[in-house]
Structure 1
Amino acid sequence: MLHWKKVAMSTSLGAMLFTLTACGGESSTAPNTADPAQKAETVRVTEVIRSIFYAPQYVAIEKGYFRDEGLDVKLDTAWGGDKAATRVLAGQDEVALVGAETTIFVQQQGSPDALVSFAQCTQRDGSFLVARQNVTNFDWSMLKGKSLLGSRAGSMPEMVSEYVQKQHGIKPLTDNEIIQNIAFDNQAAAFASGTGDFFQAFEPAASLLEKQGQGRVVASFGQDGGKLPYTVFMAKDSYLKSHPQTAQKFTNAVQKAQTYLHTASPEEAATVIKPYFTDVDQDILVNVIKRYQQSDSWPTDTLIDQQEFDNMKKIMKDAGQLQQDVPYEKVVQPSFAEKAKQN
């Protein structure tokens, strides 16, 4: 049995702050509009968590992009990167939406049937730096001598955070204090109660703190950390080889969703994905989508390029989480995204 400790730690742990209970819109079950007589092909997808960050996926379902490609997407939520990867490796689901670093950890474990990323959902870290008050002319050096309510050691959010700090001349845990002993679902309340000078927050926690007058977003870890395949769609290598047309149709639909999110207003996009976040106030949902659009979180296409992949490995290596180098071509299949982009 594979050991998933590192996978679990490295998968966007901050996600628990911007996830909400799954509620509706779980399947694109309508018949293929191109050929109503043809039965749609079922593709089981497991997402690591439920998050507004993953809007391209929900848009592809709700706008009928998967359906138009002849696919019936059955979506479930694994609530954990280790669980999502295990479900795909065990054949319970065909596709997983999870951090691309998962493919590297699985490869390092020596899996006989590698997990391969084939379409990108998000291209930057999705966390934001929240200060107690608005800071004019913010500079990362302001974290020196301060306390930061951060993410768990070894997680991708924490790796990005420490990488960004080092890029700005800060020695994490030496020049400052990083608070890592508070459970993610309690962090927003802890910050509101006075814990930490700064907070590495995920949405919608960041927007809620601003609305309540208990914090202000002053920087984006995603923008300063650079582009990387933060969240991707992946499948077993054997599945992609045996179902290339399915993978292509799936990628085509995600490409359409990415294009939509770069042309739609936050208000329009919020209405589309609302069925997945019924307990989020509409103004918060709109604000989160606007923030992700402004921070360039969603790519214009689904292609995971070599430079982004290498940047992710650089961040992992800097954090001591890359045991051995894993070549791009071992865990990334770009052909489906390249074709979807051309079309």
Structure 2
Amino acid sequence: MKHIKRKFTLLFTFLLAFSLLLAGCSTSSSKQEKVRIAEVTRSIFYAPQYVAIEKGFFEDEGINVELTTTWGGDKTMTALLSDGADVALVGSETTIYVHAQESTDPVINFAQLTQTDGTFLVARKKPDFFSWEQLKGSTFLGQRKGGMPQMAGEFGLKKHGIDPKNDLKMIQNIDFANIANAFASGTGDYVQLFEPQASLFEQEGIGHIVASFGAESGKIPYTTFMAKESYMKENKETLEKFTKGLYKAQLWVENHSAAEIAEVIAPYFEDTPVELIETVVDRYKSQHSFALNPILDEEEWNNLQTIMEEAGELPKKIDYDVLVDTTLAKKAIK
């Protein structure tokens, strides 16, 4: 009888401990706060974001990220403004466009992801040596008018004495998704491309990377995490945790090799060989495209507006403090 009683006691103790463990797991799970992110495109350029998800840096902070690719700046901002997303990952210029329309709930940049343009100049023929002068009189496949890639591209051209409107034939009536195909089919002497398409074309002999617009345009808040002002006020602690998770990923990316990063983010690019992902990551790391921390500084903001103004796309100058809030970013790096 004592033996049976002892077995029952042990069983009860085990069940009690197991139930407490389950309760603990349930409590931990219930603390996870969902943040819905709308990313403007799926790109190796956004490697730190995917690292933050895959390495569990967001999860460690109690954040459950729901990531959606919205394919285009207009669609991304529409998702954010209509409450289809909590946070948008897109170019900072979009916040200026929204503000110019006198929005009653402005969109605020709170954490920076990339700090240079992410496109490259690809030539159809490989030159013995490259000079920007070679673009004069050529046909150039550009990006969408008013978008950051196009504005940064024009800024780079002007920096080298090339007038985009008069010194070359600029083609801008092709959808973003079809620009690479148009070039591959024989349209244009030069094209402005994101990775991994630029490196893929180089591998296939379709084109040759001759310059980086990221290196030419300098540091700018090219891609940032942003949210509506109302959401930021109501979810301050959530976004603080989110930014901490992001910063952990930024540090991890800075301190690990391109090969290690490529291995982590490979699930997001199933149709891209991991060796190509590594090549692209290495190229972006070498030109310091990935922001080292989430702080968007005033010099970068002013450079962004200078580029927009040069392109004739700046509705009006906006003071740094109006659309940028570094409070969360500064807390994250402490």
TM range (shorter): 0.7 to 0.9
Residue 328 of structure 1: aligned partner: 320
> By how many angstroms is 1:51 displaced?
1.4
Q: Deviations over 1:173-192 (max 9, x none)?
A: 21112222333333223323
Report matched runs for 1:142-291 at 5 Å: 142-291=134-283
CA distance in structure 1 between the aligned counterparts of 2:204 and 2:74, rounded to whole angstroms: 34
For structure 2, which runs of at least 5 residues remain unmatched after alignment?
Answer: 1-23
Q: Deviations over 1:261-317 (max 9, x none)?
A: 111111111111111111111221111111111121101111100000111111111
Larger radius of gyration: 2
Residue 301 of structure 1: aligned partner: 293
Question: What amino acid is aligned across from residue 315 of structure 1 in structure 2?
Answer: I
CA distance in structure 1 between the aligned counterparts of 2:293 and 2:29, rounded to whole angstroms: 31
CA distance in structure 2 between the aligned counterparts of 1:122 and 1:321, rounded to whole angstroms: 21
1:45 paired to 2:17 = no
Aligned with residue 119 of structure 1, among 80, 100, 111: 111
Question: What amino acid is aligned across from residue 93 of structure 2 in structure 1?
Answer: E
CA distance in structure 1 between the aligned counterparts of 2:225 and 2:36, rounded to whole angstroms: 12
Report matched runs for 1:24-173 at 5 Å: 36=28, 39-173=31-165
Residue 310 of structure 2: aligned partner: 318
> By how many angstroms is 1:135 displaced?
3.5
SS class of match (1:42) = strand
Q: TM-score, normalised by structure 1?
A: 0.86
Per mean C-alpha deviation after superposition, the further-off stretch among 185-194 and 51-60 is 185-194
Over aligned residues, Cα RMSD in angstroms?
1.8
> By how many angstroms is 1:327 displaced?
1.4
Question: What is the percent sequence identity of the aligned residues?
Answer: 50
Q: How many residues align?
A: 310
SS class of match (1:175) = coil
Question: What amino acid is aligned across from residue 168 of structure 2 in structure 1?
Answer: N
Which runs of at least 4 in structure 1 moved beyond 6 Å after TM superposition? none
Question: What amino acid is aligned across from residue 329 of structure 2 in structure 1?
Answer: A
Residue 21 of structure 2: aligned partner: none
Q: TM-score, normalised by structure 2?
A: 0.88
